[in-house]
């Protein structure tokens, strides 16, 4: 056997080759062009060596593989865009051939005449699971660390290396469609029950069990290549097919509103592929994959939800000249819902945390929140009692600020009142070393203002979590005017340690996320006042791709909180800062009807006792004269809700509040679910082009007012033909600069 960079091949006395994948320069194995070139040579050598009876492929790392390196797909798309300008037909052919490389390599493996077994020892995703499905046998380790999935639909594409054809030939069609269109993770036992793996064995016996399959006479032929093969779910044209396909199409439409071309393509691939021989089916899949790769949705989702997300998670915006710091102790001031949540995620990351509140009872109540969250995980089988005890042992609940001594980072999460925050800051700083970093979790008060309470403003920063802390994956790191690089580096190291995604935001009222969210809610208030039926507002938002309607979101965050924010804004910025119609609406809801939102079970929705579901409050019809549904343009409703958010994101970029478009896009999706198929608030603009977007905004401005006026930045970009990713080239690590005035 030849020497390989990414694989080792060892043949035992029984003639079984053990192919171990272990990329030397990566923490996780991924498919690159080099890896596929090497794997093809290995397949050819195994097939051509009479002394080799079969092969087992496994990983030398804790995980099996994360699948394809999607930056490879980005390069493929870049080449396509370049070639398209010269010869469109040739460009499409190149894209088609590139899209089929992996698919036909796996086909080469499964028709090589030698049995192959995949020994899955850890996470096995995307193309790696498609490789495993092409193997004649599949053995998975019985471990919580083993997860298998074809998650490509989550980044705008679909399993294009045979996944849409092998899965429905191994399991029933309904389960196959569910798995493919959602990208769901499968445990080893679930995969076995579906027929996608043959055996689940203890981790130490994994390779032994895989070799045994070959020694026991595993056939080097896939079921679909044998005469008389029958589909597990029955033929497409059958009674079973007639009961499956019409509702499957309707369910997908209901869940996606046609916003995700890749999900629709999966149904087409499976439907058409099951009607023809396997090789023809692979060509059908390759054709649809080529089409999907050319869509705006695929380009934007790959960039934001894979490439940019990975870069930010790796600390792309962290100052490189500040040494990495591993926190040995973190303090959290305030044991309310947010503070308790912060303490939980900190302890879950294995970091000792001191949770401080006004008295022992309040502090203990905050710690009990962690116990409750762990109980829920235990009930779902995701944690043990030992895990719970270990986590709780890391949390010290106390009213004594002296316990903060030695903490490298303290996060203040007390009530949104400047005087209370001032007192907490001063008490903590009296105990902390001068090198410690102090962070505020405020969601409304500017960090620069709060930093005035500190004796060391260079070490003062904002770390803004979203609720519920344990579930929300985004954290805004807020730079005050005097915040230093050390504070930023420590904040980023902490956010990465608790496995959340950090974005860096310069100081302003509402920061980035809340400014966008408030625009979303305010546009819904305007529509309600105009007489747009509330159901059309909420459904229009979901049709536009938002996970939660703006009225439901207002209920979740609390209507009385919206009232407080509006009143505070008027006090700070004057009467003109808030639309008086909105103020009247919110005052009516809170003061006249006592509707505070979900927390008191009365808001824009009513929240009856379970099992009854929430429903829009009938009284909304009485507040404003409603237009008949046929008089409302639902496409315009969708457009208004997305455009108002995108305009605010553009203003934030213009003001220098956010300086990196990756953070604006990823932040908008992770924080409030901005239509993921667009790639984020700025990619929504880039995807259609600034000129077209400005045209839409100006039309809406003429009809609905100054809120839709495009900022000068966008007008300039429309004239120059620039995109945000061209004008604001993402900053490399260490180039974080505060650009806000």
CATH of the domain at 155: 3.90.226.10
- Both 351 and 418 in a single domain? yes
Q: For residue 371, count CB atoms less than 10 angstroms from its CB and return exposed for 0-12, middle for 13-18, buried for 19 or more.
A: middle
- Both 492 and 544 in a single domain? no
Q: Which residues contact 573 (CB under 8 A, 6 or more apart)?
A: none
- Domain's final residue, options 485, 510, 535: 510
- How many CB atoms neighbour CB 113 within 10 A? 10
- Domain's final residue, options 510, 536, 554: 510
Within the chain, how many helices (H) and strands (E) appear?
Answer: 31, 18
Catalytic residue, from 136, 198, 369, 464: name it. 464
Spatial separation of the C-alpha atoms in residues 385 and 697, rounded to whole Å: 55
- Both 499 and 458 in a single domain? yes
Mean pLDDT by 10-residue block, N- to C-terminus, for the chain (741 residues)?
89 96 92 94 96 96 90 82 88 90 96 97 95 97 94 94 97 96 95 96 96 96 95 93 94 94 97 97 96 94 92 90 91 94 97 96 96 95 93 96 95 88 94 94 87 93 93 94 95 96 89 92 96 96 96 92 88 89 96 93 93 93 92 96 98 94 96 95 97 97 96 97 92 41 33
- Both 644 and 496 in a single domain? no
- Is 173 inside a domain boundary? yes
- Is 740 inside a domain boundary? no
Question: What pLDDT is recorded for position 150?
Answer: 96
Query: Is 464 known to be catalytic?
Result: yes
Q: For 248-262, give the secondary structure using H, E and C.
A: HHHHHHHHHCCCCHH
- How many CB atoms neighbour CB 183 within 10 A? 18
- Is 316 inside a domain boundary? no
- Both 533 and 567 in a single domain? yes
Q: Tell me how far CA of residue 488 lies from CA of 107, 324, 441, in angstroms.
A: 49, 11, 14
Question: What pLDDT is recorded for position 731?
Answer: 56
- Both 134 and 190 in a single domain? yes
- Is 157 inside a domain boundary? yes
| CATH code (residue 390) | 3.40.50.720
Spatial separation of the C-alpha atoms in residues 95 and 169, rounded to whole Å: 27
- Both 255 and 160 in a single domain? yes
Question: What pLDDT is recorded for position 564?
Answer: 87
Question: What pLDDT is recorded for position 522?
Answer: 96
Q: Report DSSP state, residue 597.
A: B
- Domain's final residue, options 510, 543, 564: 510
Question: What pLDDT is recorded for position 733?
Answer: 35
Question: What pLDDT is recorded for position 1?
Answer: 66
Owning domain of residue 364: 330-510
């Amino acid at each position: 056997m030849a020497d390989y960079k990414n694989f080792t091949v060892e043949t035992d006395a029984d003639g079984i080759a053990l192919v171990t994948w272990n990329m030397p320069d990566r923490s996780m194995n991924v498919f690159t062009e080099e890896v596929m070139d090497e794997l093809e040579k290995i397949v050819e050598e195994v097939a051509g060596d009479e002394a080799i009876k079969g092969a087992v492929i496994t990983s030398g790392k804790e995980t099996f593989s994360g699948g394809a390196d999607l930056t490879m797909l980005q390069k493929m798309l870049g080449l396509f865009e370049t070639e398209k300008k010269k010869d469109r037909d040739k460009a499409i052919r190149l894209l088609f051939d590139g899209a089929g490389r992996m698919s036909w390599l796996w086909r080469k493996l499964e028709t090589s005449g030698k049995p192959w077994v995949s020994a899955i020892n850890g996470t096995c995703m995307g193309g790696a699971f498609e490789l495993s499905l092409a193997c004649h046998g599949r053995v998975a380790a019985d471990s919580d660390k083993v997860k298998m999935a074809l998650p490509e639909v989550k980044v705008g594409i679909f399993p294009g290396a045979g996944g849409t054809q092998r899965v429905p030939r191994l399991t029933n069609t309904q389960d196959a469609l569910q798995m493919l269109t959602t990208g769901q993770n499968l445990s080893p036992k679930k995969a076995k029950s579906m027929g996608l793996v043959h055996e689940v064995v203890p981790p130490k016996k994994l390779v032994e069990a895989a070799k045994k399959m070959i020694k026991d006479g595993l056939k080097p032929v896939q079921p679909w290549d044998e005469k008389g093969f029958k589909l597990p779910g029955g033929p497409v044209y059958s009674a079973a097919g007639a009961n499956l396909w019409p509702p499957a199409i309707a369910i997908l439409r209901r869940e996606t509103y046609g916003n995700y071309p890749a999900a629709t393509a999966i149904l087409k691939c499976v439907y058409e592929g099951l009607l023809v021989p396997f090789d023809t089916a692979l060509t059908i899949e390759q054709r649809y994959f080529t089409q999907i790769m050319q869509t705006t949705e695929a380009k934007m989702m790959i960039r934001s939800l894979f490439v940019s997300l990975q870069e930010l998670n790796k600390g792309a915006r962290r100052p490189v000249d500040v040494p990495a710091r591993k926190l040995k102790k973190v303090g959290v001031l305030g044991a309310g819902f947010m503070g308790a949540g912060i303490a939980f995620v900190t302890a879950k990351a294995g970091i000792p945390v001191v949770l401080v509140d006004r008295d022992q009872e309040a502090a203990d109540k905050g710690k009990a929140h962690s116990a409750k969250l762990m109980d829920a995980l235990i009930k779902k089988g995701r944690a043990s009692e030992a895990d719970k005890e270990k986590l709780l042992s890391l949390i010290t609940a106390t009213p004594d600020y002296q316990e903060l001594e030695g903490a490298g980072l303290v996060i203040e999460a007390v009530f949104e009142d400047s005087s209370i925050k001032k007192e907490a800051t001063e008490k903590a700083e009296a105990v902390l070393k001068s090198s410690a970093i102090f962070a505020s979790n405020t969601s409304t008060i500017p960090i620069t203002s709060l930093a005035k309470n500190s004796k060391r403003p260079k070490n003062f920063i904002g770390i803004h979590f979203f609720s519920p802390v344990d579930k929300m994956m985004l954290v805004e790191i807020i730079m005050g005017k005097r915040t230093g690089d050390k504070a930023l580096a420590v904040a980023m190291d902490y956010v990465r340690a608790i496995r959340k995604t950090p974005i860096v935001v310069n100081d302003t009222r509402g920061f980035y996320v809340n400014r966008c969210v408030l625009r979303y809610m305010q546009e819904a208030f305007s529509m309600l006042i105009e007489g747009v039926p509330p159901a059309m507002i909420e459904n229009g938002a979901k049709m536009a791709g938002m996970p939660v309607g703006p009225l439901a979101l207002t209920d979740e965050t609390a209507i009385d909180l919206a009232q407080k924010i509006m009143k505070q804004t008027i006090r700070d910025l004057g009467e003109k800062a808030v639309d008086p119609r909105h103020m009247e609406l919110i005052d009516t809801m809170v003061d006249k009807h006592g509707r505070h939102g979900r927390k008191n079970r009365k808001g824009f929705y009513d929240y009856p006792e379970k099992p009854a579901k929430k429903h829009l409050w009938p009284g909304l019809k009485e507040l404003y004269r409603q237009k008949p549904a046929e008089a409302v343009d639902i496409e315009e409703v969708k457009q208004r809700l997305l455009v108002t958010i995108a305009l605010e994101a553009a203003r934030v970029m213009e003001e220098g509040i956010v300086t990196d478009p990756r953070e604006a896009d990823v932040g908008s999706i992770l924080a409030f679910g901005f239509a993921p198929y667009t790639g984020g608030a700025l990619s929504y603009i880039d995807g259609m082009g600034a000129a077209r977007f400005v045209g839409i905004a100006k039309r809406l401005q003429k009809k609905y007012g100054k809120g839709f006026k495009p900022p000068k930045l966008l007008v300039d970009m429309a004239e120059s033909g620039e995109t945000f990713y061209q004008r604001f080239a993402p900053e490399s690590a260490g180039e974080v600069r505060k650009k806000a005035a």
